Amino acid sequence: MKQDRTMDAVDRRIVRLLQEDATLSHAQLAEEVGASPASCWRRVKALEAAGILGRTVRLVDPEAVGRGVNVMCNIRMRSHAAEARQSFEEFVRGRPEVVECFSMSGEWDYLLRVVVADVVDYNQFLMQTMLGHPSVAGGSSHFVLATTKYTTALPV
pTM (2 d.p.): 0.88
Q: What mean pLDDT comes out for the span 137-154?
A: 96
**DSSP per residue over 26-91, as a string?**
HHHHHHHHTS-HHHHHHHHHHHHHTTSS--------TGGGT--EEEEEEEEES---HHHHHHHHHH
Q: What mean pLDDT comes out for the span 108-131?
A: 98
Which pLDDT value is given to residue 6? 82
Residue 5's pLDDT band, with cuts at 50, 70 and 90, is: low
Question: Is residue 2 over pLDDT 60?
Answer: no
Residue 1's pLDDT band, with cuts at 50, 70 and 90, is: very low
